Amino acid sequence: MTHQAINSDDYQIQLSNKVELLKSMLAPFAVSEIDVYESPKTHYRMRAEFRVWHDGDDLFYIMFNPDTREKIRVDSFPVANELINDLMPAILDYVRGRPNLRKKLFQVEFLTTTTNEALVSLIYHRQLDETWQREALELKHDLSKFGKIEIVGRAKKQKLCLEKDWVVETLIIDEKPYRFQQVENSFTQPNAAVNQHMVSWALNATKGSHGDLLELYCGNGNFSLPLAQNFNRVLATEISKTSVASARYNCELNDIHNVTVVRMSAEEFSAVMAGDRESRRANEAEIESFDCRTVLVDPPRAGLDADTVELVRNYDSIVYISCNPETLVENLESLQSTHNVSRAALFDQFPYTHHMEAGVILKRKT
């Protein structure tokens, strides 16, 4: 999340620079053209977090310059969507004169959706009591004029959930709506508009596929659910307990019944597939019954470890979504002995920063 002021007039320049950089990084793999998916120039980020600074009778949001640790006052945040910008001043105005809500309020976190839902987490450096809970309910009612608002209070070893700690996002993928539970403190794609492009791109790239799909790092089913229509079955793995529960919930929410979600890390799954270990969860999922010919990976910034690279090499088609093109290139250097890059894309998830989200489709060499 950038702390710097943005100028939307600079958007196309920064995007062009990213396109040229990604092209140069992928050039060794015979990639000359890439699909480019722009972000909205402002109000594109669906989540944000701010420290709360107390200054006498006043309080306001701040961010820190990561290089200098300089405090930067934030009264509005054009990077974030409109709902976050509406809620930011409303929350401070409400709690400013209410000691039970204001006392030792340390941070406010926002998770929002395209359908005007928001989860607001109020984080404190003190324990919370019934009085806080009662006044937080009144705050929740006051904020309802902006949309469907949920509030969670947090302190050390304490979490008070007024109603629920999640929202439901609706994404339009290839003109079809998909609903996704998004839980506080679990991973979700920050830029909903670009995420819709990204999933639609993967959906289009896998049309006409045969057999089943293996997905590693499936999260809450962001790719699994829409792509399920292109395959007989989907075997999806994820290490986060919360994300696994959400992925299963989202399958039911969207009436999708050909997706099996297994709680396993990519490293553990690779070891099982290599015959180096046994897994009760793998056995219960009957993973040997799947006929996976395509694999989709969306790893963290560190990319794929060596064992997982060897695992994905066994599949005819690889869909690789990367939030770090540097580790993507490292993995492609290993995979190029067996696969060719047939298609590539840049998804501008993080405008006005140096971060890039990329996608490549690899096909087994004949």
Per-residue pLDDT reduced to its tens digit, 219-232: 999 999 999 999 99
- Say whether both 34 and 59 belong to one domain: no
Question: Considering the chain, what percentage of its residues have pLDDT values greater than 70?
Answer: 99
What total number of domains does the chain contain? 2
Return binding residues for S-adenosyl-L-methionine.
189, 217, 222, 238, 298
Print the domain residue range for 13: 8-41+189-364
297, two tokens: 């990976």
pLDDT (tens digit per residue) in 124-140: 999 999 999 999 999 99
Are 69 and 145 found together in one domain? yes
Q: Across all residues in the chain, what is the average pLDDT? A: 95
* pLDDT confidence of residue 270: 87
The full DSSP string for 204-255 is HHTTT--SEEEEES-TTTTTHHHHGGGSS-EEEEES-HHHHHHHHHHHHHTT
Residues 144 and 251 in one domain: no
pLDDT score, position 277: 87
Q: What is the pLDDT of residue 273?
A: 86
217 and 307 housed in the same domain: yes
Q: Catalytic pick from 117, 150, 169, 357?
A: 357
175-192 average pLDDT score:
96
313 found inside a domain:
yes
Annotated binding site: 189, 217, 222, 238, 298
Rounded average pLDDT over 158-176: 97
- Whether 73 is in a domain gets the answer yes
Is 181 among the domain residues? no
What's the pLDDT score for residue 276? 86
Which DSSP letter does residue 29 get? Answer: G
* CATH code for position 283: 3.40.50.150
How sure is the predictor about 335, in pLDDT bands with cuts at 50, 70 and 90?
A: very high
pLDDT over 70 (residue 1) = no
| Tokens read off for 256 | 């999708």
Judge whether 259 and 228 are in contact, CB under 8 Å: yes
The reply to whether 292 belongs to the active site is: no
* In a shared domain, residues 207 and 87: no
Q: What CATH number does residue 144 fall under?
A: 2.40.50.1070
**157 shares a domain with 195:** no
- Among candidate residues 136, 167, 198, the one where a domain is terminated: 167
Structure token digits, residue 164: 């629920």
Q: Residue 2 domain-assigned?
A: no
Q: Is 130 considered catalytic here?
A: no
Give residue 2's pLDDT.
63
What is the distance between the alpha carbons of residues 253 and 211, in angstroms, rounded to a whole number? Answer: 25
Q: What would you measure as the largest C-alpha separation in the chain, in angstroms?
A: 71
Helix (H) or strand (E) holding 297: strand 292-297
Q: Is residue 173 assigned to a domain?
A: no
- Which comes out higher in pLDDT, residue 94 or 266? 94
List 252, 278, 323, 326, catalytic entry: 323
On whether both 247 and 217 belong to a single domain, the answer is: yes
